[in-house]
Chains A and B, each alone.
Chain A
Amino acid sequence: MTAFVARRLLFAVALVFVVSSVALLLTRLAPGDVTAELGPFAAPEEIARARARLDLDRSPLEQWALWLVRAGRFDFGDSFLYGRPVRGLVADAAGNTAILAVVALAVATALGIPLGIVSGSRRGAAAAIIRSVSLVCLSLPPLLTSLLLVFVAATTRWLPAGGMTSVETLDGGWGTWLADVAIHLPLPALALALPIAATFERLQAQSIAEALQQPCVTAATARGVAPREIIVRHAWRVSLRPICGVYGIAIGALLSGSFVVEFVTAWPGLGRLMYEALRARDIYLVAGCAAMGGLVLAAGMMIGDLLLAIADPRVREQESL
C-alpha cells in the first residue's frame, strides 16, 4: 500500500511539474501577452513596466527558471488580471471547484450507474429512452447545456440563474452561507454532471450486458437465483471495473467541463479562472491553474485506481495492495 501511494505521489509531482511548465512556456510562446489588457494604445512605458513586472522582458527559459525557483518556495507569482498573488487566487478557486466537482460527480454517479444498469439489463421502451437521453447529453456541448440551464432557471425562477452565493449571505453565518451555496449548486452541477452521467450510463449499460453473459451469471440463473439478485450481487460487481477505471478520467472531464460551465454560470472556480487567464495570457495565473489542475487530475487518478482495486481483486494483486 505504501509503495502504491509513494508511486502515485511521485507521479503527481511529475505531472504538476510538467503540466505547469508546459502551460507557462506555451503561454509565453503564443503570440501576444497579457499587456494587451492595457489596450491597443497604452503608452510604451506603461507596457514596458507591466512586462518587466511579469518577467516578460526576460527570455522564456530564463522566466521559466525564475518561476520554478519561486514556485519551490510556493510563490507562484502575481496575476496581472487580478492584481494579487496567484497562490491565494488558485487556492480559493480550487476550493469552489471542489465543492462543485464533488456534487457533480455524486450526481453523475447517482444518475448514470442505476440508469446504466436498467438500460443494460433490460430491453424495451425504458431502455431506449435512457439510451436516447444519454446520447443527447453526450452530444450537447457544455456551453449549450450551461446556457440552456441558465435560460431555464431565469425563465422559471426555480433556481438562481448564476453565481455561488447571494448578497444576502453577507449578513448571515455559516449556516446561511451553506444553505445559499446549496441553492446555487444545482445549476452548474447539473451542467457538469449530465455529460458525465451519460458516459457512466453508456459504460455501465455495456458492461452489465457483458457481465450478464459471464458463466457465473449463467450458473446463478441455473440455480434459480432471482434476476434482481443476479444483477445486484453478481453482474454489477463484475461490471464495475470499467466504471472505476473511468473515474480518474471523469475528474479530468469535470475540470475541462468546468472551464465553460463556471464561466457561463458565474461560478468562481478554477475552470473560470483558468479560462480567463488563458484568454488574457495571464502567464503566472495560467501556470498556477495548470499546476492545480495537474494535482487534481493526479488525485482523481489515484482515487480511481483505489476504487478499481476495491472492486476487483485482480487489480489488488497486480498493485500489491
Chain B
Amino acid sequence: MLAGAGALIVLVLVLRSPSSEEPAAPAIQRGGQVIASLRSEPRSFNRLVSRDYATEILTLLTQGRLARINRATFELEPWLAEAWESSADGRTHTLHLRPGVTWSDGTPFTADDVLFSLQAVFDPKAQSVLASTLLVGGQPIKGTAPDAQTVVLTYAAPSGPGLRLLDNLPILPRHKLQTALAAGSFVSAWNNTTPPSELVGTGPFVIREYQPGQRVVLDRNPRYWRRAPDGGALPYLDRVILEIVPEQNAELLRLQAGDLDLTSSELRPEDYVPVRAAEEQGRLRLIELGVGTDADAFWFCLKPEVKQGKDPRFAFVRQPAFRRALSHAIDREAFAETVFLGAAVPVWGPITPGNTQWFRPDLPRYAHNDAVATGELSTLELADRDSNGVLEDANGTEARFTVLTQRGIGTYERGTAVLREELAKIGVIIDVVPLEVGALIQRLLACDYDAIYYRPILTDLDPAGNLDFWLSSGSGHFWNFGQKTPATEWERRIDTLMLEQAASLDPERRRQQFGLVQQIFAENLPVLYFAAPRLYYAHSTRLRGVVPSVQRPPVLWNADSLSVTN
C-alpha cells in the first residue's frame, strides 16, 4: 500500500491552506483575457440538444437562465428573472423578468423568449436532452405571459425543488431560432458550423470564433445586463479563450508553463505534487474545492430476470448480508490513502459530505472488520469447504466474480486492485477486466456483468433531481434499472418516500424523508461506496475573483466576475 506517501501529500496540502495565502484584494482591473482549456470539442452550441461538457461550458458563458443555482453556496439566485412569487400549493410561479435586458445583438429580451425556450425543450421534434430534467409529476412545465415582462409557470404537481429546476434551462432567443423550431430542424440548429454572428445570448460573453481542433474564442458581451458591486459593467474580462487540449498531461504542463490560466476540471490525485511545486515557485495557485459530490461505486447486477436461475451466485449476491460483508471487508481509510493518494474521505453512501445540504453523517457505517464480514458470510452458508482460499456455498458455487471497470483511469485501476486484495482476505475473489468506456456501458445496459467499479455522476445535488437513480423504474437505477414493479420491498419503500419527497414543499420534511431513504439504502447496500475524493484545482496566479465550486466547471461558472492582474 502507498498509504504513507498519500498521507504525506494530503498533510502538506491541508497544513498550507491556499486561501490563507491569498494576497490582499487589489483593485479589480478591467480588460485582459484568460486562457482556459477544454479537453474535447463542443458538439453543438445548443445546450438543449447536446449534453457534452464543452457545450455546457459554452452555454454557461454565453446564455442566461431565469434563475441560477450559485455553485458555491448552492442557493437559488435571481438571474434573468429578478423576482418571483409562488402560490401556496407550489404549482404556480409568477416570475418578473429583469427590465432592460437585451440579447447580445441588441434585440430586447422578453417573456416570449422564455415561452419559446419552454416550447423548444418540450417539443418532441427538438429532441431536447433537457426535457426530462424539467418534468414535474411527469408533465412538462407550462408557461404563459400576461405581459412582456412577466411569465407564469404552472407545474402539474407540487415540486420540492420548485424554481431550482430553472437552473437547467438556458433561455434561447426566439428571434433566432423560432424558424428552425417551426421547420423541425431545431435539433441541428446552432450546430458547431453555425457562424458566430448567429449565436446570440444574454450571457457575459459571445462566441467570436470557433477554430475546430484548436480553440473557441469568446469576447465580452457589451450588452451584458449584470453590474459589478461598484456599479460598473460586467464582465471584467475582455476575452475568454478555450484552448482544446485533449491530453491531460500536456494540459497540466501547459498550465504550469503559463500557457493556460485555468483548466476545465479538477486535478488528478497524481498531479498534486508537481502542482504544489509550481505553487511554491509562485507560478500557480492551488485551491481545495472541497469533497467531491460523487464517489467511485461498486455494484453487482441485481436484475432477477437476467440472473435468477441462470447464475447460481445470484442466490447469495442478492442478499444484503453478502454486500454488507463486502463493506466490512474494506478498510476505507486505507482505501482513501491508496486510491486517492490520501486526498479522499471515507463514505458509506452515494451522498458525500461534499453535498452539505443532503449529507447525513449518522447513517449506518460498516467498520473494517474481517471477522464480522466472515460472520455475515457464514449466515449465507458461504464457507471455504475445500480449503482453496475461496468461499463456496452448499452447492459448491464459488464466490468468484469478474469486475468490469473503465480502462486507463488511475483511480479505477488502484481501486479495483485494493478491492481484489481486501476481498481475497475473506475468501471472495475478483478478477478485474478494464474495458473501453463504450464496451463497459454496453455491458452495463445489457446487465451482462457480475460487478462494475465506476463513478456514476448524480446530475443534481437535490435528490429530487436524481429520481432516475433512486426510483426502481429509473434508467439510472443501475444495479437493476427500469423495473416495472419494485423487485424488493426496500426499493418499494424508497420509491414511495422519494416520490413524496420530490413533491413536498416543506424543506424539513424533505430532509427527513431523504434521510430515511439514505438509511434504507445504507442497510441494503445495492451499491457500495468507499471514498469520495477531495478535489483540488490549480489556476494561474494572475487570476482574480475565483469562487471555487466542487461542481464542474469549478471556476468558469462565475466567469463574469473573473479578472486578471497584469
Tell me, in angstroms, the Cα distance from A214 to B259 when the chains sit together: 55
Tell me, in angstroms, the Cα distance from A155 to B437 when the chains sit together: 34
Tell yes or no: B209 within 8 A of A by CB. yes
Q: B-facing mask of A252-289, CB < 8 A → 1, else 0?
A: 00000000000111101100110010011100000000
Closest to B452 in A: A40
Tell yes or no: A172 within 8 A of B by CB. no
CB within 8 A of B41: which of A82, A163, A167?
A: A82
Q: Does the CB pair A151–B253 fall under 8 Å? A: yes
Min CB gap A86→B, angstroms: 13
Q: Which B residues are CB-close (under 8 A) to A170?
A: 208-209, 217
Q: Which A residues are CB-close (under 8 A) to B438?
A: 31-34, 36, 280-281
Q: B-facing mask of A27-62, CB < 8 A → 1, else 0?
A: 000111110111111111010010000000000000
Tell me, in angstroms, the Cα distance from A40 to B477 when the chains sit together: 11
Tell me, in angstroms, the Cα distance from A293 to B468 when the chains sit together: 43
Min CB gap B403→A, angstroms: 16
Q: Which A residues are CB-close (under 8 A) to B127?
A: 46, 49
Q: Does the CB pair A157–B193 fall under 8 Å? A: no
Tell me, in angstroms, the Cα distance from A315 to B253 when the chains sit together: 49
Tell yes or no: A195 within 8 A of B by CB. no
Q: Does the CB pair B253–A44 fall under 8 Å? A: no
Q: Does the CB pair A89–B247 fall under 8 Å? A: no
Q: Which residues between 429 and 453 of chain B lie within 8 Å of chain A, taking CB atoms?
A: 435-445
Given A40-B441, A41-B478, A266-B191 contact (CB < 8 Å): no
Q: Does the CB pair B247–A36 fall under 8 Å? A: no
Q: Which A residues are CB-close (under 8 A) to B217?
A: 167, 170
**A contacts with B, residue count (CB < 8 A):** 53
Given A162-B245, A264-B247, A41-B212 contact (CB < 8 Å): no
Q: Does the CB pair B442–A162 fall under 8 Å? A: no
CB within 8 A of A32: which of B129, B209, B215, B437?
A: B437
Tell yes or no: A20 within 8 A of B by CB. no
Tell me, in angstroms, the Cα distance from A151 to B243 when the chains sit together: 18
Given A32-B440, A40-B456, A81-B43, A161-B257 contact (CB < 8 Å): yes
Min CB gap B375→A, angstroms: 35
**B contacts with A, residue count (CB < 8 A):** 55
Closest to A79 in B: B43
Tell yes or no: B164 within 8 A of A by CB. no
Q: Does the CB pair A266–B132 fall under 8 Å? A: no
Given A38-B51, A44-B475, A89-B212, A272-B437 contact (CB < 8 Å): no
Given A31-B442, A40-B444, A83-B192, A266-B478 contact (CB < 8 Å): no
Tell me, in angstroms, the Cα distance from A151 to B257 when the chains sit together: 9
Closest to B469 in A: A41
Tell me, in angstroms, the Cα distance from A173 to B51 when the chains sit together: 36
CB within 8 A of B257: which of A155, A163, A264?
A: A155
Q: Does the CB pair A83–B191 fall under 8 Å? A: yes
Q: Does the CB pair A32–B441 fall under 8 Å? A: yes
Q: Which B residues are CB-close (under 8 A) to A292?
A: none
Closest to B436 in A: A32
Tell me, in angstroms, the Cα distance from A153 to B253 when the chains sit together: 9
Tell yes or no: B109 within 8 A of A by CB. no
Q: Which A residues are CB-close (under 8 A) to B475?
A: 41-44
Tell me, in angstroms, the Cα distance from A42 to B50 when the chains sit together: 12
Tell yes or no: A190 within 8 A of B by CB. no
Q: Does the CB pair A41–B41 fall under 8 Å? A: no
Tell yes or no: A147 within 8 A of B by CB. yes
Q: A-facing mask of B52-68, CB < 8 A → 1, else 0?
A: 10000000000000000
Q: Does the CB pair B51–A39 fall under 8 Å? A: yes
Tell me, in angstroms, the Cα distance from A33 to B468 when the chains sit together: 23
Tell yes or no: B213 within 8 A of A by CB. yes
Q: Which B residues are CB-close (under 8 A) to A96?
A: 213
Q: Which B residues are CB-close (under 8 A) to A146?
A: 250
Given A83-B43, A150-B253, A41-B456 contact (CB < 8 Å): yes
Q: Which B residues are CB-close (under 8 A) to A308?
A: none
Pairs A-B, 6 closest by C-beta atoms: A268-B213, A32-B438, A154-B257, A36-B438, A31-B439, A41-B476
29 residue pairs from A and B, CB less than 8 Å apart:
A30-B439, A31-B435, A31-B442, A32-B435, A32-B438, A36-B438, A38-B51, A40-B440, A40-B441, A42-B129, A42-B475, A43-B132, A46-B127, A46-B129, A81-B40, A83-B50, A83-B192, A84-B191, A84-B192, A151-B253, A154-B259, A160-B259, A162-B250, A163-B243, A163-B245, A170-B209, A170-B217, A266-B214, A279-B436
Chain A interface (Cβ < 8 Å from any Cβ of B) = 30-34, 36-44, 46, 49, 80-84, 89, 92-93, 96, 146-147, 150-151, 153-155, 157, 160-165, 167, 170, 263-266, 268-269, 272-273, 276, 279-281
Chain B interface (Cβ < 8 Å from any Cβ of A) = 35, 40-41, 43-44, 50-52, 127, 129, 132, 191-193, 208-209, 211-215, 217, 241, 243-247, 249-250, 253-254, 256-257, 259, 435-445, 454, 456-457, 468-469, 475-476, 478, 482
